[in-house]
């Protein structure tokens, strides 16, 4: 075991991938000399050189398109998009090209591309740098969507993502970069399943990414009310691991889904629908959601905090479904 940070775990994952396969390269805005907007790629330019750590112009549409072309040509690009908000400038390349090429070519072409992007709020960066749009991408067939919330997943998800023949989007929540902890040196991480992060019997709390920590804290607070909460980390947002979710609800018979996206059309709504479809008769109370307020993320800290799911709102929702 070694002590490290989420940022350092991501950097080590990048370093390992670049060392293991000469076809891997990193490309994006300020990833080279500057070391990445969030310092994830710091030092990699000096180690691997400008051919493999490539700074790009400020055009997401262009450099994501270049990454798709490189993947089609046999490379395994890692594309860094500064924030999920800016990825909207590359939606045509991601949705209409990368996600669709295997289908449109009858399986003749694959796009082994990984797109990393920062998501989430809580850092007073206002509306154009703070939204959680993971649910938008989880709507699209042809791509895999990952949300590492732990050091292990930050360290271990990148390499299997690069081995996937189809595009993979890897969402890194901005509030996780400084998170520190112990990291095993020999862990194996899959990119297919959800994880039970805390066992419980009274209510299932389902979360992912930057809200996993708040949800685990809420579960601990609920013990004071005699509520034993199970916490599920989705980890893989597309395809969803229905079996793990249904098994948890089959044990607890109550569920709260926690999602930093907006309530309307949220990923939480999809999870809720699947549980109602597949485990309706296991539920002893209506499922509940804790999501972001239906507003652009505010800049002022007290307003940003009010808009986002918090430990107190998760606790209140869990108490309500448990009748406490």
CATH of the domain spanning 195-321, picked from 2.40.50.100, 3.30.300.90, 3.40.50.1980, 3.40.50.920: 3.40.50.920
Cα distances (angstroms) measured from residue 180 to each of 106, 127, 324: 45, 27, 34
Q: For residue 41, what pLDDT is reported?
A: 97
Q: Is the pTM above the cut of 0.85? A: yes
Q: Point out the residues that are catalytic.
A: 60, 129
Domain with CATH 3.40.50.970 in the chain: 2-183
Taking the alpha carbons at both ends of the chain, their separation in whole angstroms is: 40
Find the DSSP H helices in the chain: 6-20, 44-48, 60-72, 84-87, 91, 101-104, 134-137, 151-156, 158-163, 212-222, 242-252, 267-279, 301-307, 311-321
| Angle in degrees, CA 273, 119, 90, rounded to 5 | 95
Domain with CATH 3.40.50.920 in the chain: 195-321
Q: What is the distance between the alpha carbons of residues 290 and 31, in angstroms, rounded to a whole number? A: 35
Phi, psi values for residue 107, rounded to 5°: 85, 5
Edge-to-edge strand list for the sheet holding 236-238? 53-55, 24-28, 76-83, 114-119, 168-173, 144-146, 236-238
List the beta bridge partners of residue 28. 55, 80
Structure tokens at 98: 């990368």
**How many CB atoms are located within 10 Å of the residue 320 CB?**
14
Q: For residue 115, what pLDDT is reported?
A: 98
CATH of the domain spanning 2-183, picked from 1.10.10.10, 3.40.50.970, 3.40.50.620, 3.30.230.10: 3.40.50.970
pLDDT in tens, the chain (324 residues): 788 999 999 999 999 999 999 999 999 999 999 999 999 999 999 999 999 999 999 999 999 999 999 999 999 999 999 999 999 999 999 999 999 999 999 999 999 999 999 999 999 999 999 999 999 999 999 999 999 999 999 999 999 999 999 999 999 999 999 999 998 877 789 999 999 999 999 999 999 999 999 999 999 999 999 999 999 999 999 999 999 999 999 999 999 999 999 999 999 999 999 999 999 999 999 999 999 999 999 999 999 999 999 999 999 999 999 998
Structure tokens at 23: 């076809």
């Amino acid at each position: 075991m070694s002590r490290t940070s989420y940022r350092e775990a991501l950097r080590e994952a990048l370093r390992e991938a670049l060392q293991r396969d000469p076809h891997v390269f990193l490309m994006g805005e300020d990833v080279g000399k500057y070391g990445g907007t969030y310092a994830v790629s710091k030092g990699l330019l000096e180690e691997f050189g400008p051919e493999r750590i490539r700074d790009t112009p400020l055009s997401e549409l262009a450099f994501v398109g270049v990454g798709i072309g490189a993947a089609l040509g046999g490379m395994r690009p890692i594309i860094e998009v500064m924030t999920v908000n800016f990825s909207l400038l590359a939606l045509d390349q991601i949705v209409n090209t990368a996600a669709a090429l295997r289908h449109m070519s009858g399986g003749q072409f694959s796009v082994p591309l990984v797109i990393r992007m920062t998501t989430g709020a809580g850092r007073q960066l206002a509306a154009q740098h703070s939204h959680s749009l993971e649910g938008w991408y989880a709507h699209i067939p042809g791509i895999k969507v990952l949300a590492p919330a732990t050091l292990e997943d930050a360290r271990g998800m990148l390499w299997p993502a690069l081995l996937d023949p189809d595009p993979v989007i890897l969402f890194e929540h901005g509030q996780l970069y400084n998170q520190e902890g112990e990291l095993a040196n020999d862990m194996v991480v899959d990119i297919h399943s959800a994880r039970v992060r805390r066992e419980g019997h009274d209510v299932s709390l389902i979360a992912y990414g930057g809200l996993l920590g708040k949800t685990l804290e809420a579960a601990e607070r609920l013990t004071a009310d005699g509520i034993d909460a199970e916490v599920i980390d989705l980890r893989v947002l597309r395809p969803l691991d229905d079996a793990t979710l249904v098994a948890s609800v089959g044990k607890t018979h109550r569920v709260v889904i926690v999602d930093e996206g907006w309530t309307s059309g949220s990923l939480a709504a999809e999870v809720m629908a699947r549980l109602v479809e597949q485990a309706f008769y296991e539920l002893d109370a209506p499922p509940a959601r804790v999501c972001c307020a239906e507003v652009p993320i505010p800049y002022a800290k007290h307003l940003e905090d009010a808009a986002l799911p918090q430990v107190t709102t998760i606790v209140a929702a869990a108490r309500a479904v448990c009748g406490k």
